[in-house]
Structure formats: C-alpha cells, structure tokens
C-alpha cells in the first residue's frame, strides 16, 4: 500500500485584506499557499484543491490517482469535488504567481459537459471547507488541513422583497409631500404679490403719461403732416424787403 500523505500544518483561508468580490453568491477567493509544498514536491507533481460541503469534509477520501479525482458535476450528489489542478512549481517560494485563487470562477463548466474537473460556480451558499492536496504519479504525497467553514453570500429572492414601503417610509413620503405642497403654495403667493405690485406700478405709469401715449399712438399710424407754405409777407421783416 502507498504511504499516507504527509500532513502539513497550513490551513487554507480567505485573504484578510480588502478585496473586491472576495466572497460572492457563487465564488470565493483563497490565499495562494506559497512555500507550503517545498521539500515534498517533484517537478512532475500537481497540486489540487479539494472542495466539500462543511458537513461532508470528514468523509472525504483522497483519490489514489488522477483518474479517481471527483469532478465538479458530481458535487450535488458526492458532496465534494476537486479542481484547480496546478503544477507544484507554481506554489514554490520563487514562483511569480498571483497571490489569490478564485474558487468557482469558471462559468463555462456547466455548458461544456466534459469529464475532466473544472472550476465551476458553487451551487449554494454552503458552507464549504477546502484543502490542498499534492499528488504525484503514485497518488497523494502531502495535504494541508481543512479550512474553516466558508459561507457564501445569499442572493435575495424576488419573493422576499416587500414592494410596499415600511410605515416609517410612508410617513417620510407624506411629510415630504406636505412640505413640497406648502413650498409650492408659498412660491405662488410670493409670485402673485410681486406680480400685483409690478402691475400696479405699470398702471400708475400709464395714467401719468396718457396724453403722451395717445399722441404717440396717433402719430405712429398717421403719416406726419407736410410743411405748409408760409402766407405772403409772414417771413419778411420789414414787409418791403420781400
């Protein structure tokens, strides 16, 4: 029988730093385990991630070979699967690799219908536990501890959303409506007073200039009178000079 895998003290965990989309309704992020498998891995070895429902992690059995790896599509029935097959060298201390892994990020897994493991979206909030497993040509060589339970976000069902506003919200809406109505009435009153004042001022000016206005109105529509010839003798002084 092959030797049991070495038990490593590393515990997988969600990154503690702020990260956009760190935990969603179908995915979660994991900190990449660097320098964890150094001293146990060969160049041909691969590191897998085992994912299981939290209440099924105790019954998970490591596969003896790659052919026995539980695929993603069996998660609803087998309660566990393995994914993220990666060369062990990518987890070495000197590997320039991203610091975070994302579990459940491959949305194409549901449509491919393939037998090989993939990293498909998680079907429920869980919670889940995960561990890393180093596998060689003869089976598992080393494994980490299981993580603490990881609970995904719950998406709100449309049926749980109350379309009617709460009582407090209704009171706020009523008060806002009353204030808006009072503001409109006040604005109308102010504008009416200003309009009356301006109209009175215009009427007063019209009364004071009535003669000028009427005179101007008549001359605007009637052509100006032509200059009349002077009567004989009116422009000569004394009369004998004309």
- Cβ atoms of 150 and 177 within 8 Å: the answer is no
Model confidence at 221, in pLDDT bands (50, 70, 90)?
Answer: very low
Q: Give the start-to-end residue ranges of the domains of the chain.
A: 12-155
pTM of the predicted model, to two decimals?
A: 0.64
Cα separation, 210 vs 198, whole angstroms: 18
Cα separation, 63 vs 180, whole angstroms: 70
Task: Give the β-pairing of 6-7 and 139-143.
Answer: parallel
Cα separation, 28 vs 15, whole angstroms: 10
Please give the mean pLDDT across all residues of the chain: 77
pLDDT one-digit tens code per residue, 37-56: 998 988 899 999 999 999 99
Could you tell me the two tokens for 103?
């579990």
Residue 47: per-residue pLDDT: 96
């Amino acid at each position: 029988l092959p030797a049991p895998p070495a038990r490593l003290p590393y515990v997988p965990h969600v990154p503690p730093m702020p990260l956009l989309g760190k935990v969603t309704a179908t995915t979660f992020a994991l900190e990449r385990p660097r320098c964890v498998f150094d001293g146990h891995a060969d160049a041909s070895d691969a590191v897998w991630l085992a994912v299981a429902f939290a209440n099924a992690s105790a019954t998970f059995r490591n596969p003896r070979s790659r052919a026995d790896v539980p695929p993603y599509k069996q998660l609803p029935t087998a309660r566990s699967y393995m994914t993220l097959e990666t060369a062990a060298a990518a987890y070495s201390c000197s590997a320039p690799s991203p610091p975070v892994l994302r579990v459940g990020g491959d949305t194409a897994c549901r449509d491919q219908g393939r037998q090989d493991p993939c990293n498909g979206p998680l079907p429920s909030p869980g919670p889940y536990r995960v561990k890393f497993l180093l596998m060689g040509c003869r089976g598992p060589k080393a494994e980490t501890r299981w993580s603490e339970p990881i609970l995904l976000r719950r998406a709100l069902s449309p049926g749980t959303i109350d379309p009617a506003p709460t009582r407090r919200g209704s009171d706020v809406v009523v008060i806002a409506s009353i204030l808006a109505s009072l503001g409109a009435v006040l604005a109308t009153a102010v504008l009416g007073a200003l309009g009356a004042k301006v109209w009175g001022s215009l009427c007063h000016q019209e009364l004071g200039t009535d003669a000028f206005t009427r005179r101007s109105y008549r001359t605007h529509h009637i052509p100006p009178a032509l200059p009349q010839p002077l009567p004989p003798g009116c422009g000569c002084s004394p009369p004998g000079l004309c």
